[in-house]
Amino acid sequence: MAMVNTYTYKKVTWVDLENPTRDEVRSLMQAYDIHPLAAEELVLPTVRSKVDKYDDFIYLILHFPAWKHSHKETTQEIDFIIGKNFIVTARYDTIDPLHKFSKMFEVNSVLDRNSLVGEHAGYMFYYMIRELYRSLVDELESMDDALADIEQKTFMGREREMVFELSNASREILSFKHATALHKDMLASFASAARHFFGAGYDHYMESIQSECLRVEKTIQGLSESLSELRETNDSLLEAKQNKIMLTFTSVTIISSFLNIMASWFLIESPDNPVKHMPHEFWYAGLLMLVVAVVLAAFMKVRKWL
């Protein structure tokens, strides 16, 4: 469902578009003198991230991993059009951090802490992207807790169940990695454009944004390494357990085969058969087979085959 929300703080206006229609984009293009090429890209999602610098604004497209509530796609796109006194965001799904930021915008709880925020839209973009990255870190910390839970269950003997849990965790981490893979390069390009657009004084804010991005990147890398080690551990434990089961089955098979041979030997019709036609021959044979089975089982137990 299409939705347009407009927020104003001092000199800066923020227009947030969700599933924008062509009429809404056309109206926005006229109101803020947006280039038709940039306006056209707001209508539909774009496959690749990019940075374009125009005379009156900078156009930035970033893709983020889908937050847990969303089941439509594995990534979510946000288009930023950042002018001197306005910022436009276009998205095609509900994005919780932007919704949270809009609530903070309405009450000015964060914005009033810095008198620079209203000077130009670059400062507004800084707080907005910072909220997005911090939300990503929160998601990644939740995944770290999930890995800790998987690790605990792995050493509780639930290796088989954890194979599926590890696969799900791997898919989520891979989604984060793919979605944020180009952020570092895009922010570097944006920093270069922003320096000319907003002045050298904005460098400090871009460095802070890039630090938040690097934090996300390092967290993803750490989770990937932890997941890889945990998967290897789980596979080793699972293989050891399967080998133990196979060894147990093999030992039982050996004992059963040996008893079958003994039973067949007792059934041989021969005058030399020592137990044939003896009183209580059934019980003698059974007792002898039981003793042999116990001896074999004890031997295999000592060898840790059982």
Mean pLDDT over residues 13-25, rounded?
90
Per residue in 229-265, pLDDT tens? 999 988 888 888 877 778 788 888 888 887 787 777 6
Instruction: Report the interhelical angle of 96-107 vs 121-154 (nearest 10°).
Output: 130
* Lowest mean pLDDT, pick from 15-29, 146-160, 196-210, 251-265: 251-265
pLDDT in the model for residue 126: 92
Give the residue, 303 or 87, on which the prediction is more confident.
Answer: 87
Mean pLDDT over residues 148-167, rounded?
88
pTM comes to: 0.77
Per-residue tokens: 67 = 């937050």
Mean pLDDT over residues 15-32, rounded?
90
Handedness of CA 128, 129, 130, 133 (dihedral sign): positive
Mean pLDDT over residues 186-192, rounded?
94
| Of the candidates 46, 22, 18, the residue with the CA atom closest to the CA atom of residue 102 | 18
Give the residue, 123 or 72, on which the prediction is more confident.
Answer: 123
Most confident of 111-115, 234-238, 277-281: 234-238
Taking the CA atoms of residue 274, residue 277, residue 279 and residue 281 in that order, the dihedral angle to the nearest 10 degrees is: 60
3-238 domain in CATH 3.30.460.20? Answer: yes
pLDDT in the model for residue 111: 59
Longest dimension (CA), the chain: 114
With 70 as the cut, is the pLDDT of residue 153 above it? yes
Mean pLDDT over residues 149-162, rounded?
87
pLDDT in the model for residue 281: 65
Contact call for residues 73 and 67 (beta carbons, < 8 A): no
With 60 as the cut, is the pLDDT of residue 69 above it? no
pLDDT in the model for residue 273: 61
pLDDT in the model for residue 156: 85
